[in-house]
Amino acid sequence: KQEVTQIPAALSVPEGENLVLNCSFTDSAIYNLQWFRQDPGKGLTSLLLIQSSQREQTSGRLNASLDKSSGRSTLYIAASQPGDSATYLCAVKVGAQKLVFGQGTRLTINP
């Protein structure tokens, strides 16, 4: 059974810092990995999708990496801003189009 773990559960940093969020999964047989952000009381916003054959994806200040063999992904956020405050969720796609989610990292950027 695929399990996804995100560390840390919560993170608070001053504005402007670069930071890394971690995601690990137990079964390397994944189709892809997707990072989302969730604002309080809201749905999910897709940030980055990494296919199983890829090593990383970039979008603006965000960079996500994937090491399938070790079951790890990282989300790097450069020059953090207060608007980046949200919960960040990692999810891996397994058979039949099912996403398995981690518990999320609650990020707070302090002005």
Partner 1 sequence: SAVISQKPSRDICQRGTSLTIQCQVDSQVTMMFWYRQQPGQSLTLIATANQGSEATYESGFVIDKFPISRPNLTFSTLTVSNMSPEDSSIYLCSVIRGTDEQYFGPGTRLTVT
Contacting positions for partner 1 (CB under 8 A): 31-32, 34, 36, 41-46, 49, 51, 89, 91, 93, 96-99, 101-104
Nearer to partner 1, 12 or 45 (CB): 45
Q: How far is the CB of 104 from partner 1 (least distance, A)?
A: 6
Q: How far is the CB of 57 from partner 1 (least distance, A)?
A: 11
Distances, alpha carbon 80 to alpha carbons 16, 51, 92, in Å: 5, 26, 25
Q: How far is the CB of 105 from partner 1 (least distance, A)?
A: 11
Q: How far is the CB of 92 from partner 1 (least distance, A)?
A: 11
d(CA 89, CA 104): 4
CB 77 within 8 A of CB 21: yes
* Six token digits for residue 106: 């609650």
Nearer to partner 1, 51 or 70 (CB): 51
d(CA 98, CA 56): 21
Nearer to partner 1, 4 or 110 (CB): 4
* Six token digits for residue 87: 């919960």
